[in-house]
Amino acid sequence: MLSAIALAALIQSAPASEDIVIPSEPAPLHGTLLTPVDARAAAVLIPGSGPTDRDGNQMPAIQAATLRLMAEALADDGIATVRIDKRGVGASAMAALSEDALRFDHMAEDARAWAAELAQRTGRDCVWLMGHSEGGLVAQVAAADNPQVCGVVLLASAGRPAADILREQLAALPQPLNDQAMDGLSEMEAGRTVETIPGLEALFRPSVQPYLISWFRHDPRALAAAWDRPMLIVHATRDIQVNAADADAWRPPSRTPRGSILKASIMC
């Protein structure tokens, strides 16, 4: 059994967990701040696509708690984190926007707000943004021209524009559906909406097209080339959604001019 002194020391050294709220319209956004004793850095953990909550779960199907476990591991290494319920998810459900009103940049604006809140609460000049999957692109957009961001960490984040990935995923469609889908993606890349394509309503319905157009506008490689602070890119070889092509897309050409892309791609 632990002595009273040892138990007290353990309690005093444990990271402090606190539910926090930041203002937003139409309702506040919620997250969890985990602060170790004598924190040496701070990071915002940004979930990937879909209804992913602050712990990295999509209830009831996914209950791995990846983001909570990451926050706890980072706390053990002296790094404070805030992990967030995205707009429309978990405790932030009331902050949801209608599908036709939602834009990709709403998520980047939320990430900027969380970075500012974390910097203020931890007393740091800047914090890190750590994004998983789609959250990596959110982190890149939120970090651009933002002095409150020290650096970004991209975890299984696509190294290609979203429209290119969708083309790859839709390549096996039969004709003439394939041509219709490719033409539709090209039109949305150019900022134009298209008629709903029968059989592909989930992707080309009118209410979701403005979001897709706003998403297609961001090129992760271009954002990386313009970034002049630290960036860590981590990929896994057995990822079933973000494949080796996305990891390879981050690798700079052998003759890249010094300083244009300074990145490390770690395969694990």
Collapsing DSSP to helix, strand or coil, 86 comes out as: coil
Q: How far apart are CA 219 and CA 230, in angstroms?
A: 18
* 110 token code pair: 């939320």
Tens of pLDDT, residue by residue over 119-172, are 999 999 999 999 999 999 999 999 999 999 999 999 999 999 999 999 999 999
pTM: 0.88
Q: What is the largest CA-CA distance in the chain?
A: 74
DSSP strands (E only) in 62-122: 79-84
Which residue is it, tokens 């959250």? 135
Residue 263 pLDDT more than 70?
Answer: no
Residue 256 pLDDT more than 80?
Answer: no
Tens of pLDDT, residue by residue over 33-42, are 999 999 999 9
Stretch 46-62: mean pLDDT, rounded? 92
How deeply is 26 buried, as exposed, middle or buried, from its count of CB atoms within 10 A (0-12, 13-18, 19+)? exposed
Contact (CB, 8 A) for 78 and 115: no
CB neighbour list of residue 239: distance below 8 Å, 6 or more residues apart: 156
Amino acid at 236: A
